[in-house]
Amino acid sequence: MFSKILVANRGEIAVRVIRACKEMGITSVAVFSEADKDALHVSLADEGYCIGGPAPRDSYLNMSAIITLARATECEAIHPGYGFLAENHRFARLCEEHGIVFIGPPSEVIKRMGDKAAARETMRQAGVPVIPGSDTLRDIATARHEAERIGFPLLIKASSGGGGRGIRLVREAGEFERQYTASVAEARNAFGDGSVYLEKYLRPVKHIEVQILADNHGHIVCLGERDCSAQRKNQKMIEESPAAIPEKVRRRMAEASVMVAVAAGYRGAGTVEYLYDGAGNFYFLEMNTRLQVEHPVTEMVTWVDLVKWQIRIAAGSPLGFSQDNISLMGHSIECRINAENPYRSFRPSSGRIEMLHVPGGPWVRFDTAIYQGYTIPPFYDSMIGKLIVYAKTRDEAIRKMKAALCELIIEGIEHNADFQLEILSSEEFESAAYTTDFLEGWLGNGGHEK
């Protein structure tokens, strides 16, 4: 087992990883930007070092600074969390070249699955159903020809994309060229890669993802699925496990996910994402080669600590359980708490936390890095916490989440807890019939106005 790990992230996920290290008796090293000198993850870690200015490119994306610090502090491994460098194959390769264990899959796996178009082809060859679409495109003429073949409506998606960026919906041929140009520009700015691909636009569908763990000894297990269909502009807001899908579909998704892991040569914690049409058909969307924001709902229904197992697998340990040991118990829901005002076009909010009261009670969990007196900087993602609950049934979990949201108090900034409460109270969510276009339609109809 490792004796010292550098945590190359910030916010709640850095706190989550550092806590896991403490429980495992591993020394943790935090990195932070100048804007994060008072951040919770810095005070919780055994050691903390400033690596640059507030802008992510000067600190949390500064690969050379992180590698240099890891070597100087004699860290054996680096945990990237999610976001920032978590799916950067160049960073994973740098770790490998410097004899540092990257807590995640090998760099070549990240590269292969990070190219969304290439990943689709890999899955197609492995027999996993994929959404009709194109290969990677690099010129408008080929793109236009492929669009005509696929038919409208369709999606233009960044080949190296993630987090909902670089995606454009094209409903008719007349708007294709403009949206193609915009998607390429956004992809180049966000990921340094302007290549895109096309995908048939399927609606209505649910966004279902399957959690897997794979060790270095050929063992792969599926830890159930999550419904992540409550989205705004391709950004997830509420996640739950298990999903309201037929048992036979659940089994087929699990089997397909093992095929994905085998085809990818996967190692570590990963998530296979699908679109499900409600008629028994599902299609491979992409594979996230990292820990997901919504991993706590899986932990709650399986009692498996995903972060600890990431670390153990990276250290060479075999999985201590098999698929026969995994069963989903009860129901868990997660609400992302963002520093934003949903009633003013989701305007971001930053500032000092004047008062904080965290909900309590059995099976209520709040993963966060904020504290009373903490000042939220304006340079990073708006998510400030994740409220997670667990209960025996879905109806009980919804009631527990509503109670927890009502109890949560964060004064000094604007946040979206009341908005999350509205979503949970909607007929579509309560019936579990909601799909990926639910929130956009609901917002358009003024379902959230105050």
Strands, sheet with 4-7, edge to edge from the N-terminal-most edge strand = 47-52, 27-33, 4-7, 77-79, 101-102
* Exposure of 218 in the CB half-sphere (CA atoms within 13 A): 0
The DSSP output letter for 159 is T
Q: How far apart, in Å, are the Cα atoms of 261 and each of 113, 215, 267, 308?
A: 10, 11, 8, 20
Gap between the Cα atoms of 320 and 129, Å rounded: 31
Ramachandran angles phi, psi of 303, nearest 5°: 65, 30
DSSP state of 279: S
385-421: burial string, b at 16+ Cβ within 10 Å, e else: bbbbbbbeebeebbebbbebbeebebebbbbbbebbb
User: Does 290 qualify as catalytic in the annotation?
Assistant: yes
User: Which residues lie below 8 Å from residue 74, measured CB to CB, with a gap of 6+?
Assistant: 4
Considering the candidates 168, 226, 290, 365, report the single residue annotated as catalytic: 290
Cα–Cα distance for residue pair 191/258, rounded to 1 Å: 28
Which strand ranges, in their side-by-side order, compose the sheet holding 154-158?
Answer: 168-170, 154-158, 196-200
Q: How far apart are CA 227 and CA 225, in angstroms?
A: 7
Query: End-to-end alpha-carbon separation of the chain, Å?
Result: 53
Tally: H helices and E strands in the chain: 15, 22
| Residue linked to tokens 């005070």 | 43
Cβ neighbours, 10 Å, residue 130:
17
Of 207, 206, 239, 242, nearest to 326 by C-alpha is 242
AA letter at 335? C
Give me the active site residues, please.
Answer: 290
